[in-house]
Amino acid sequence: MAPLDVAARRGRTMTAAASPVLELSGVGRRFGGLQALSDVSFAVTQGEVVGLVGPNGAGKSTMFEVISGNIAPSSGSIRFFGKDITKLPAFARRRAGMARTFQKVRLFNSLTVEQNIAVAAMQCLPEPGRWQDEVQSVLTRMRLTAQARRRPPEITLADRKKVEIGRAIAGGCTLLMLDESLSGLTRDEADELVEEILGINRGRGLTIIVVEHVMPVVVAMAARLIVLKTGTLIADGPPAEVARDPVVIEAYLGSRPHGLA
């Protein structure tokens, strides 16, 4: 992987004293005998781009499911703009502005690209005129206007990923969680999509959490990394700092995390 122009492309870090967008305190989740997450706490402020990394089985997916409301935490609480949402169902979190993509793209295959985005837009903007405008603006933003009338099985994987992100940001989303949105793409496609995502980050002031296996990509996007290992948060800070952290190096089998600067 050729190094990307890291400094220029990274998302903004808003360190100003804004109240946190997302705040996890002491979140744990147990599946039978397996402690998938234990006592995880962190906060994300508006406009941040945070990378969630860790070896396989570290609990990244469980973390996403817990934040987006598909899995209830066994302990701890989650706050969104200061409001406790621990008990809120997934659809209500989406309407409140928290959106996600899936590790394996999940679109509505019998609906057109336009309708896929409309389904999400109309949940947050019930007035017909407003959501219709929003759909058009998202289509333009994601450069999907040419594909608007086609169905997901008829378009390329890169476009499907764009539709999924478009569906996620439609209707005033404030926190976007991307689950390996770049995997399976060619280098050029991934670069283009990163550009797109960071554009949304800057343009809409969107807060973003990314889970990604390819480390250079995370580093290119995120100004802050949160490292999980066997369900525990082991490091939290700027990529360069995290890469020097002995605990993190240990977690990645004693070697320097591949691609970390």
Partner 1 sequence: MLLVALVAAVATLPLWPFANNYIVALAVRTLLFIALGQAWNVIAGIGGMLSLGHGLFFGLGAYATGLLFNSFGLTPWLGLFPAMAIAAAAGLLVGLVTGHLRGIYFALATVVMSLAFEKLARYFVDLTGGDTGLSVTFRGDAPWAMQWRGPTAFLFLSLAVVVIYYLATRAILRSRFGLELQAVRDDEGAAAASGVNTFRTKLLGLMLSAAMTALVGTLYMQFYLNIDPSTAFGLFQAIQIQLPALIGGLGTAGGPVIGGALMILVSEAANIASGKLNLQGVDVLIYGLVLLLVVMRAPLGIIGEWHRWTSRRAGGAR
Which residues contact partner 1 (rule: CB under 8 A)? Answer: 68, 70, 89-92, 94-95, 99-100, 102, 106-111, 115, 118-120, 122-124, 128, 167-168, 171
The backbone torsions φ and ψ at residue 33, rounded to the nearest 5 degrees and listed phi first, read -90, -5
CB of 239 to partner 1, least distance (A): 28
CB of 95 to partner 1, least distance (A): 5
Report the residue number, 40 or 120, with the smaller CB distance to partner 1.
120
CB of 114 to partner 1, least distance (A): 10
CA atoms within 13 A on the CB side of 222: 31
Residue type, 125: L
CB of 242 to partner 1, least distance (A): 29
d(CA 139, CA 141): 6
d(CA 151, CA 137): 19
Residue type, 51: G
Report the residue number, 94 or 161, with the smaller CB distance to partner 1.
94
CA trace torsion 217, 222, 227, 230 (10° rounding): -60
CB of 138 to partner 1, least distance (A): 12
Report the residue number, 70 or 186, with the smaller CB distance to partner 1.
70
What is the chain's alpha carbon radius of gyration, rounded to the nearest angstrom?
18
Report the residue number, 94 or 224, with the smaller CB distance to partner 1.
94
Report the residue number, 13 or 112, with the smaller CB distance to partner 1.
112
CA-to-CA separations, 198 to 101, 208, 217, in angstroms, rounded: 16, 9, 12
